[in-house]
Amino acid sequence: MSDGDSYYGQPVLNPPVWAALDIAGYLFLGGLAGGSSLLGAGSELTGRRGLARVTKLGAVGAISVSLVALIHDLGRPSRFLNMLRVFKVTSPMSVGTWILTAYAPLAGLAAASDLSGRAPRVGRAATLGAGGLGPAVASYTAALIADTAVPVWHDAHRELPFVFVGSAATAAAGLALLGAPPVEAGPARRLALIGAAAELLASRLMEERLGELAEPLHHGRSGMLLRASKVLTVLGVGFGAVLGRRGRRRAALGGGMLLAASACTRFGIFEAGMASARDPRHTVAPQRGRVAARR
Amino acid sequence: MSGREAGGETAPGNRLRLSVHQSGGNPARDAGYVDPPPRVGFFTDTSICIGCKACEVACKEWNQVPDDGLLQTGFSLDNTGGLSADSWRHVAFIEQGKPLGIPAPDADAGPDGEMRWLMASDVCKHCTHAACLDVCPTGSLFRTEFGTVVVQEDICNGCGYCVPACPFGVIDRREDDGRAFKCTLCYDRIGVGMEPACAKACPTDSIQFGELEDLRDRAADRLAELHAAGVGDARLYGERPDDGVGGAGAFFLLLDEPEVYGLPPDPVVTTRDLPRMWRQVALAAGSLAAGAAIAFAGRRR
């Protein structure tokens, strides 16, 4: 018999076919790359060579793995270049493809020049270029997943970009704290604080706006990941940004926690969306509410 | 583009109420076709569906849609489950303890001794504002001259973005193939003046194919007829050009709430909110840059 609220409990939507490891992994690595390039540009401008090295390598590493993951997730990986047939502002994936097409070579040049010591002017220009594109790389992914019918992702579209840039900042700061000499890591410590504050605040606002839809943000595997993210963020800032001033080990421990926190945020948001897409109540109840409000 | 010239044209009658997101009655014209043929679609009158699934079979045969396994769902007579890459028509079966108006001989009936069995053939809605088409990053999904939405299989690279973009759960990725598939409204048949395979096979004309304007008139008449006959639950779904998807090219006459059939009660094209999403992304990107600038400012360490 029909329960009246759904068709045999079947989802209304076809849930995303994206693999968590590829796409949530990319949300994390893309943020790490974009944030790292920003730190790289800042290091370049302020003469912090150790910090520059770590962030440039981090950026190119993260974006390289990202590109592999993105292509791997395609149903027809051999056709990935079809992404470059068109530019569509109505498709965040199209916009993102073009951002990455501009960004990845710059990140590569910046790292190659830094490592080899060759073509310093080109390297500097590439570093600044990658740094300029970094915020776009780190933030557009929020529109990528929000521009779907998945209830949690779509309805979080106002706060999600801020959650994501906060998470990108903490990830990049975390990597810098892990790898850079503490005397140069001051900006990373401050960015960790700023990013963590932004992410925690934006997450709070997002949960409030979502109301009953926020259920997957608190329960199940996604809830667990997001709770872990908050704990790791606070501890990571404590160890990395506060205690990490004196002692490389504490800084590295904090940095590792911040990286883990950012990954937990991305996988948690990804899983929360998947859960909301699978549950017909999350699609039907808000829509019924809208219909009732119009009557 | 000359296709925009007709942007101010409205459909006959006063049915069309323009909202911010809507630009006109003909999506083919909005897509740039100059002087396109009339928009076509489906009117699926579920009140006369007999659940024979001829539409599902005809669709599979004509479009060579592969077998997707024999699944015993336990959902009444429905062993298809829902629309997917391999099911472009799906007949839903809903058993309810509600009066039909005819005494039921069945023991499995409602408190008043009556039951009814709803059947409905679902299909791609060929939205006026189609999210799948909007988000497709390769241009594989396109608007045809008939106002329908079709996947070009030689372009699709299986990115999967269209799948969660669809507010109706229609399009899906065929896992062993990797590309996205859905109803084409038999683009090959309508191009040579034939009706789509499902409509052709439907023995009760529950599935009607035609020009959308005609179908809307027909549906309004049928709805009035059913209301006059005392079927107060009858309602149209997806026929209003002022709904969240700008009206569906394939719309329905239902006998209960949409969610009972697995349809969303108030679908909205996700890209309606995209301008705001981009604005928020730009603000967030600016904040990140500002945060980094603050992190580097002032102190040397």
Assess contact for B265 and B259: CB atoms under 8 A.
yes
Check residue A13 and report its DSSP letter: S
pLDDT lower than 70: segments of chain A: 1-4
C-beta atoms of A287 and B266 within 8 A: yes
Confirm or reject contact between A135 and chain B (CB < 8 A).
yes
Which positions in chain A touch B166 (Cβ < 8 Å)? 13-14, 149
Note the pLDDT tens digit of each residue in A39-87: 999 999 999 999 999 999 999 999 999 999 999 999 999 999 999 999 9
- List the single residue in A with minimal CA-CA distance to B81: A10
Q: Which residues pair with B235 in a beta bridge?
A: B254
Confirm or reject contact between A45 and chain B (CB < 8 A).
yes
pLDDT at B103: 46
Note the pLDDT tens digit of each residue in B147-185: 999 999 999 999 999 999 999 999 999 999 999 999 999
Check residue A14 and report its DSSP letter: -
C-beta atoms of B137 and A79 within 8 A: no
Average pLDDT of chain B is 89
Closest by alpha carbon to A253, among A268, A238, A231?
Answer: A238
Which positions in chain A touch B160 (Cβ < 8 Å)? 16-18, 73-75
Structure tokens at A75: 């149903």
Is the confidence at residue B15, as pLDDT, over 50?
no
C-beta atoms of B294 and A190 within 8 A: yes
C-beta atoms of B301 and A150 within 8 A: no
pLDDT at B10: 35
User: Smallest Cβ distance to B178: which of A16, A76, A86?
Assistant: A76
ipTM of the predicted structure? 0.97
Which positions in chain B touch A24 (Cβ < 8 Å)? none
Give how far B22 is from chain A: nearest CA, Å. Answer: 15
Question: Who's near B63: CB < 8 A, 6+ residues apart?
Answer: B88, B184, B186, B197
- List the single residue in A with minimal CA-CA distance to B297: A187
Structure tokens at A248: 């490389």
Is the confidence at residue B106, as pLDDT, over 80?
no
Confirm or reject contact between A288 and chain B (CB < 8 A).
yes
Confirm or reject contact between A164 and chain B (CB < 8 A).
yes
A154-168, B15-29, B172-186, B193-207: which range is least confident on average?
Answer: B15-29
